[in-house]
Amino acid sequence: MDGPRVVEAVGYQPAALRGRSLPLLLSLADGRLALTKLMGNPQTTRALIADLVMTRLGRLVGAPVPEPLLVHVPSARLCDIPPLRIRPWISGLQYGAVFAGGAVPVEPLSDSEKLINLQTLPLAAMLETWIDNTDLKASHLLAVPGPAGPSLLVVDHGHALPGAPRWTPATLAAGLASAPDLSALTALARAARRHFDFRAALDALLAVTEDQLADLVAGVPRAWGLPASHAESLLGFLLRRQVALPAWGRQLAAQWSV
């Protein structure tokens, strides 16, 4: 599998982004914008690892998550970004998610039936269960406007993994069976009043191979300081929980059935 795409940051766009990691909106050399989380942010550099690995996993299986990137911010560029002047930051590769302009939090009652990718809801729910994303709140479920209608986008995977964001091999081992709160996604599913197909979602998730998972973990930039023992535990955590997905899928399908 190819490694994560690296794109150069070329500018800064002032934007009121709410997030404990103090994300920035940076313009990229390819003309797009990326919500960028920097090394050394208050949520720790460790949170970038979950964001990168889990969002790449989501894209691999076709879940409604943003395109993940590595945003290269050279030291000269850091000096041009006003909010960064008050404390020192670390130049180099940062985590970026391609920014969806005009996105607003989904309103389950009025939006659910209009979402053009509503069929991806079981995939989204099973992915977030697999990675134990404990930060799956309504403000992370966005409706992105588009010509054919709004589409669902699930953002912020920095709090995936037990013990997030400061997870360790010990917190992953202790949380092997923990299941995240999926109520925000369940509210969306219930409001849609339709039958969801979990079989296709499970097939997509179970088709991810150990080599692919190892490649995702290996794609973490060296500068983000993931110790080899943590990388190994992360891979083991994902492999062990993948096996449990069919049982979780059956439970969720029963909860969502109309």
Q: How far is CA 216 from CA 40, 76, 78, 221, 231, in A?
A: 22, 30, 27, 11, 10
45 binds, among ligand ADP, Mg ion, none (CB under 5 to 8 A by kind): none
Q: Which listed residue (24, 26, 35, 124) binds ligand ADP by CB under 6 A?
A: 35
Which of 103/214 has CB closer to ligand ADP?
A: 103
User: 């977030």: which residue's tokens?
Assistant: 128
Residue nearest ligand ADP (C-beta atom): 19
Which of 55/233 has CB closer to ligand ADP?
A: 55
- Segments of the chain assigned E as strands: 6-13, 24-28, 33-37, 68-73, 92-98, 104-105, 141-144, 151-154
Q: Both tokens of residue 52?
A: 């990168």
* Cα–Cα dist 182/125, whole Å: 7
Q: Which listed residue (156, 201, 233, 252) binds ligand ADP by CB under 6 A?
A: 156
Counting every residue written for the chain, the total comes to: 258
Give the x-and-dash track for 13-32 against ligand ADP (CB under 6 A).
----xxxxx-x---------
Q: Does 165 bind ligand ADP (CB under 6 A)?
A: no
Q: What are phi and psi of 116, to 5 degrees?
A: -75, -15
* Residues from 38 through 97 that contact ligand ADP (CB under 6 A): 43, 66, 97
Residue 201 host element (H or E): helix 198-206
Q: Which residues here bind Mg ion, judged by CB under 5 A?
A: 19, 156
Strand partners, 11: 27
Rounded to the nearest whole angstrom, what is the least distance from the CB of residue 140 to ligand ADP in the complex? 6
Which of 26/35 has CB closer to ligand ADP?
A: 35
Note the residues at the interface with ligand ADP (CB under 6 A): 17-21, 23, 35, 43, 66, 97, 99-100, 103, 139-140, 142, 155-156, 158
